[in-house]
Amino acid sequence: MSNIRIVTHSASGASCKIHDFGACLISYQTGAGRECLFVSRDAKMDGSKAIRGGVPLVFPQFGQPDKSMPQHGFLRTNYWTVDESSAFDTKESAGITYTLQLKDAKAARGGIWDEQTMFDCTCLYHVMIDGTKLTTTLEIQNTSTKRFFFQALLHTYYFVDGKQAMDGSKCYVKGLEGYSVIDKVSNTEYISGSDPTTIQGETDRVYNPPVGKDMVEVTIGVGKGKELKLTAVGTVDGKKKPVSCVVWNPYIEKARGLSDFGDDQYQEMICVEPGILGETQLEGGSVSKLTQVVEML
């Protein structure tokens, strides 16, 4: 039995593929046949490690501040369950929902998430497509009575056509002006100007929104004159939560050091990752949602 589910929107011909491991979305093709996502040719699809590409899910930590838990948390490295009753294919859209409960997850405990904390959660991942748009929502339900702290991101890898990721006129992110930037490569912090964000070398930057801006709204150049629009919103207990944005590309040296990434494939991708960062708390019985809408222009 295959670990990959294909969801097709019959009305438009659009489709997506989702791997049960990590509930990782590994392909979205528009009704016109345009591929949106990048997956490394060396990505492991056997469950031995997180899938390198597509839309890996990050929770409850970004990076690995807690060394007792896997990098980026445990969602990427567990098998999820498909909710068969959730599948739909209507004139407007098609989609499906995946579920992972903390009690069923491996390597999910550590640090503040150890067994003594006595809290639990259920994670839902909703995927919806139509002819030109991909919508994904990561929903976290605190099913216990105790609060916990978390971070959550949608670590999306976009395919850049023509190997043009290094060409700032073809690959860029517009709409991040005024954001507070933490540049992890140069170890600097600054306020982003009006120029588009481009890839000029190894790139690993966190863009935190200015006061009063909750929603991410950016335009991403993905090669050969093609663009897409990314909109992302976050809520905690029904209230809007500011959404940050991470831009990442390994460039030459780091790409060579990644066993599941082709040496030259840094030219074919850009990661633009909306997320709820900082120390965000979710009270017992409350729900957090992080939604991104990716529209082909």
Distance between CA atoms of residues 221 and 219, nearest Å: 7
The token pair at 262 is 């082709």
Distance between CA atoms of residues 243 and 205, nearest Å: 14
Question: Is residue 69 predicted with pLDDT exceeding 90?
Answer: no
The token pair at 177 is 């002006």
The token pair at 33 is 């046949």
pLDDT tens string 111-132:
656 665 667 899 999 999 999 9
pLDDT of res. 113: 65
Bond into 60 cis (ω within 30): yes
Report the C-alpha dihedral over residues 176, 180, 185, 188, rounded to 10 degrees: 140
Strands 180-183 and 239-241: unpaired
Domain residue extents for the chain: 4-162+237-291
pLDDT tens string 237-295:
999 999 999 999 999 999 999 999 999 999 999 999 999 998 899 999 999 999 999 99
pLDDT band at 1 (very low <50, low <70, confident <90, very high): very low
pLDDT tens string 195-242:
999 999 999 999 999 999 999 999 999 999 999 999 999 999 999 999
The token pair at 91 is 């004139």
Is there a contact between 62 and 92 (Cβ–Cβ < 8 Å)?
Answer: no
Residue range 4-162+237-291 in CATH 2.70.98.10:
yes
- Helix (H) / strand (E) containing 113: none
> What length does the chain have?
297
Q: Which amino acid is at 29?
A: Q
- Closest to 69 (Cα-Cα) out of 113, 31, 115, 33: 113
- Longest Cα–Cα distance of the chain, Å, equals 53
Percent of the chain scoring above 70 in pLDDT = 95
Distance between CA atoms of residues 251 and 199, nearest Å: 9
